[in-house]
């Protein structure tokens, strides 16, 4: 009996030492599989940083997960009324900016004001990057760094993190971070933020 307890104790210590106790923001290259407890409340406002279409994808996934949300491509602080969470998708699109009659300076100012209002309301901000390396321009990375200062949770598709940029940023900012293998994979971490 004592030998069995000793063996069990050694096994538990070995598993813990091997990294089974995950600490958000300091875990492996892929981050954590999902949040251990919810951080966000429904209704969520979904918008983009850069007027790409990724916000629509995230809003559709949120709807499929029965997360009450609404999408505004040009969300402003007034749009935060009656919401409890802000989801921002990353992806600057020159075509999207032009279609929204926005220039780069206006878009950055819009994001600054929106994030400032969300912080003032003590609202969690979830940052998501779906677009792969082709959407990782210096402008996107700069904006990501700026937004990470205010982010509660970072979710990226593996293809977006080939150079480890998001992993390093999550470690630097001590952010809970999840890397998923596919677009469909964002459903689990997104759901974990709300449930």
Give per-residue pLDDT as tens, 138-158.
888 999 999 999 999 999 999
Total of domains in the chain: 1
Q: How far is Cα 70 from Cα 153, in angstroms, rounded to an integer? A: 19
Q: Would you state the pLDDT for residue 11?
A: 38
Q: Is the pLDDT of residue 59 over 70?
A: yes
Residue 26 in any domain: the answer is no
Q: How far is Cα 192 from Cα 195, in angstroms, rounded to an integer? A: 5
Do the Cβ atoms of 80 and 124 come closer than 8 Å?
A: no
State the CATH number of the domain containing residue 188. Answer: 3.40.50
Long-range CB contacts for residues 106-110, cutoff 8 Å, separation at least 24:
107/49, 107/50, 107/51, 108/143, 110/74, 110/75, 110/76
Residue 7 in any domain: the answer is no
Task: Give the model confidence (pLDDT) of 94-144 as tens digits.
Answer: 777 677 777 888 888 999 999 999 999 999 999 999 988 887 888 889 999
Identify the domain containing residue 120 by its residue range.
Answer: 42-194
Looking at every residue in the chain, the average pLDDT score rounds to 84
């Amino acid at each position: 009996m004592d030998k069995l307890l000793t063996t069990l104790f050694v096994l538990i210590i070995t598993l813990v030492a091997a990294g089974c106790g995950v600490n958000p923001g300091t875990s492996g290259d892929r981050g954590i599989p999902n949040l251990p407890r919810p951080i966000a409340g429904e209704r969520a406002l979904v918008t983009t940083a850069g007027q790409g279409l990724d916000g629509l994808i995230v809003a559709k996934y949120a709807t499929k997960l029965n997360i009450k949300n609404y999408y505004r491509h040009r969300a402003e602080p007034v749009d935060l009324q009656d919401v409890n969470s802000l989801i921002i998708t990353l992806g600057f699109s020159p075509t999207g900016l032009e279609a929204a009659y926005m220039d780069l300076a206006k878009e950055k100012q819009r994001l600054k004001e929106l994030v400032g209002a969300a912080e003032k309301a003590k609202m969690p901000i979830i940052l998501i990057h779906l677009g792969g390396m082709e959407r990782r321009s210096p402008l996107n990375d700069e904006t990501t760094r700026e937004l990470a200062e205010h982010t509660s949770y970072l979710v990226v598709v593996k293809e977006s993190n080939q150079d480890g940029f998001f992993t390093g940023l999550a470690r630097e900012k001590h952010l809970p971070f999840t890397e998923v293998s596919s677009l469909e994979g964002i459903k689990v971490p997104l759901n974990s933020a709300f449930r």
